[in-house]
A and B are shown apart, each in its own frame.
Chain A
């Protein structure tokens, strides 16, 4: 019951955060310079009356709070408005391109977790030896390379030079490899560093010495006992990093000319297509909040102590 209450409180908090972020995004877009009506109607041919009518029709003549109330009422009913450029409903547009972006995000998360945890553990186990140094350098590169550059390098090597993988497109599995490597490398870098430092800390604990004294195999000590204790900070990093991943898709989808919601928002920013920008950013804020909620709740799965103290906290 305590766990349920805690989850409920978190959920309420998350909903409030999402609502707040909606207001914030709406406000940012509201401040955007440039008249969207002028990008829809050609000012050289349209009469001032036509422009004014269009503005009234879109509700842009009304004050901020009224516009927000309208948007919010519609949104709750699943209507995110229409693209100012193509007149497509925003929600349809997002849902149409969501699978490609989800596939990309998922592939890079898996890549970064597998590489990050494996290398992080190796690095901690062989700490201060050459393997550790090598892995730490890889991790540093991961967090220091711009994704658009690693993406371009991958294209240059594997598509232009070796001709192994397609440069662009989003339909085949092969086209997913390079973008998810480029995107996942950043996450791998963060996770390597986090897992290494928390593993190093855990390996110095007394209970590891006890386990060794008891004659447990190194492998069992590392994976069953040490890694499990080192995982919480790593999971936090992964959760926070998902947000960066979502944003990273904007750049990566542009580099690889993939279809996806990142690409949609990049195009929408260029054409000042406000409802689309709003929709996508709001959408990713929801995803981000939900993922971090899951991360929060997963602590109690990873660490029984948190589960037990749930009632007292």
Chain B
């Protein structure tokens, strides 16, 4: 294989191969840099919104209702005269909580189910996987919608709904990992020296099995935030003084002709956040799976 590639580089490269970007600040590195900056900025917004936001999100400028974006109000003001930039900054917290906790719960629960099913095998495996297969026949967003509706509108229920609907994906990946790893010689070796099942599972298998879950979780974070915003946009979140981005967008939707900025900026925040997560996710994937990495 090596010979062929080295020989190939000796002949003139076909023109479609193009020039590879090497060294320096390539387009891809630049995008990772920007994405990292956006992620850090939004995280700071979510943790200490009052450091970033110029005004209190609930303060109403009664003589500045529906004012277009300006230096005083970067994203304009809404129909109550609230500063949209401050609202977006404060709204980041709920959006981030929804995404991160849904992914954590989904990955731990799904990973756990998959690990058990894969490790134990037999009837337990068959039953678990049948249930997972059934969960998969309902499209994720629709399942989340049904669960969120069934549990009633609240932040906690949105998180649960997204987490439950993401369980099948994690469970299947983890099960696959388990089945392949438990047959490896080092597992048999540690069993032969009398290691317990728990020790084999947690000490030998899991450390070697979790990287696909990590990749999936980074990608899942973006879609969890999108789904959360969507559910909240549909009115399944809670109506609060400081709404999350989806609810903000939904409010702005009623004022499209009066103030385009009300719907535009919360959406921009969601997009910037999810885009950065996806760029970071691509990097994590390249890192975890070098086969599909850079040169390709």
Contact = CB atoms under 8 A, between A and B. Distances in A.
B222 interface: yes
Which interface residue of A148, A204, A206 has the most chain B CB atoms within 10 A?
A148
Interface string B148-180: 011110000000000000000000000000000
A231 B264 CA distance: 36
A116 interface: no
A137 B233 CA distance: 26
Contact of B229 (A29, A146, A153, A269): A146
A21 B267 CA distance: 33
Interface string A122-160: 000111111011000100110111111100110110001
B19 interface: yes
A140 B276 CA distance: 9
A20 B138 CA distance: 10
A255 B275 CA distance: 22
B138 A204 contact: no
A160 B257 contact: yes
Interface in A246-304: 246-248, 250-251, 254-255, 265-266, 269-270, 277, 281, 284-285, 288-289
Interface residues of B, number: 60
B40 interface: no
Given A21-B137, A243-B142, A265-B145, A141 B21 contact: no
Chain B contact residues: over half helix, strand or loop, or mixed? helix
Interface stretch (A30-38, A72-80, A169-177): A30-38
Nearest to A270: B235
Interface residues of A, number: 63
B146 A33 contact: no
Given A144-B275, A156-B264, A197-B296, 8 more contacts: A21-B137, A144-B222, A145-B270, A145-B274, A146-B230, A147-B230, A148-B233, A281-B138
Nearest first, the 8 A-B pairs at minimum CB distance are A243-B139, A149-B267, A20-B134, A247-B141, A144-B275, A269-B149, A247-B142, A144-B274
